[in-house]
Amino acid sequence: MNIQTVGVVGAGVMGIGVAQNLAQTDHQVILVDISEDILDKAKHEIRNNIRFQGFFKKGVDVGVASRREASQRHRQENSDGVIEKIEFSTNYKILENADFVVENVTEKWDIKKQVYSLLDSICPADCVFAANTSAIPITRIASVTKRADKVIGIHFMNPVPMKPMVEMIRGYHTSELTIETAKKILAQMGKECVLVNDSPGFVSNRVLMLTINEAVFLLQDQVATAEDIDKIFKSCFGHKMGPLETADLIGLDTILFSIEVLYENFNDSKYRPCSLLKKMVDAGLHGRKSGKGFYIYQ
């Protein structure tokens, strides 16, 4: 399958990164979200990110190799050239000729469900849908479409343009052809994948979300400060970021929604969200994207 036009639905933290990465690797991109304001903000963020200090200003440790790669890439292109490859729209109809769609909307089943039925009614029958979800089972997502064989999970890592590996999830009906198509577009984006079977949270987030939630319990129980919790993971285990810094990068709302998905899907109390996490989300402390989470950002 020849992939020319890629739809990216949802222009938040992940949609912005996916659209940028696709445009930087010569794809024609259509970025869809629900308001012009959000799309304007996305355009601005993409410009800033291409001037890649954006990532470093925020203090994200993406490693020396990525830094070198990013600076080489920066020399080769300018932000206008990348932006020109992206069409920004609030109208789903614009996706009627898309070859491939990457969905990145809010991690809420009610929202995803509506988005997939809409996409299914608009996109061509052979268009592949890649769900960039943190925890929602791919088989469930596929069930609201009439193309279950063409629905796959591509769990991108954040920040997308800097992360060379993704977790790919095979839903119950996902075909081999869909897997090959998804691998092809990932290769074009400069990425490799680890293919896993479908289960809520897959491999990465079944572990990571529990770890983060437990780290928030530690903070709530006043066992240690946020800085010391993170320091233990960085200094003792050699992790690049601690669990609370990671939570701020992902977005505390996304963490809460993901742990809620795990809780609902497994019916297991070990996934109950920490009340401090709920309170912080209610208070608008969503991490980096809101300027404040466990830490404060400029």
Return residues touching ligand NAD (CB under 6 A): 9-15, 32-34, 38, 104-107, 111, 115, 132-134, 155-156, 158, 250-251, 254, 258, 289
Question: For residues 39 and 90, is the Cβ–Cβ distance under 8 A?
Answer: yes
Q: Which residue among 21, 66, 104, 134 is the active-site one? A: 134
Q: Which residue among 104, 205, 213, 258 is the active-site one? A: 205
- 134 catalytic? Reply is yes
User: Which C-beta is closer to ligand NAD: that of 99 or that of 248?
Assistant: 248
User: Which C-beta is closer to ligand NAD: that of 25 or that of 204?
Assistant: 204
* Minimum separation from the CB atom of position 181 to ligand NAD (A): 20
* Minimum separation from the CB atom of position 265 to ligand NAD (A): 14
User: Which C-beta is closer to ligand NAD: that of 194 or that of 223?
Assistant: 194
Peptide bond into 161 cis (omega under 30): no
User: Which C-beta is closer to ligand NAD: that of 24 or that of 104?
Assistant: 104
Q: Which residue among 21, 49, 155, 260 is the active-site one? A: 155
Q: Which residue among 74, 87, 158, 167 is the active-site one? A: 167
Question: For residues 104 and 10, is the Cβ–Cβ distance under 8 A?
Answer: yes
Rounded Cα gap, residues 88 and 8, in angstroms? 10
Question: For residues 20 and 36, is the Cβ–Cβ distance under 8 A?
Answer: no
> Which of 254, 166, 161, 253 minimizes the C-alpha distance to 204?
166
- Interhelix angle 36-50/13-24, rounded to 10 degrees, is 50
User: Which C-beta is closer to ligand NAD: that of 15 or that of 273?
Assistant: 15
* Minimum separation from the CB atom of position 58 to ligand NAD (A): 13
User: Which C-beta is closer to ligand NAD: that of 21 or that of 104?
Assistant: 104
- 49 catalytic? Reply is no
Q: Cα-atom radius of gyration of the chain, to the nearest Å? A: 19
- 205 catalytic? Reply is yes
Rounded Cα gap, residues 81 and 78, in angstroms? 6
Which residue's structure tokens are 């990525």?
66
Residues 6+ apart with CB under 8 A from 170: 138, 152, 153, 179, 195, 196, 197, 198
The helix/strand/coil state of 247 is helix
* Minimum separation from the CB atom of position 108 to ligand NAD (A): 8
* Minimum separation from the CB atom of position 103 to ligand NAD (A): 8
- 96 catalytic? Reply is no
* Minimum separation from the CB atom of position 73 to ligand NAD (A): 21
Q: What amino acid is encoded at 166 in this protein? A: V
Residues 6+ apart with CB under 8 A from 93: 122
Q: Which residue is nearest to ligand NAD (CB)?
A: 12
The catalytic residues are 134, 155, 167, 205
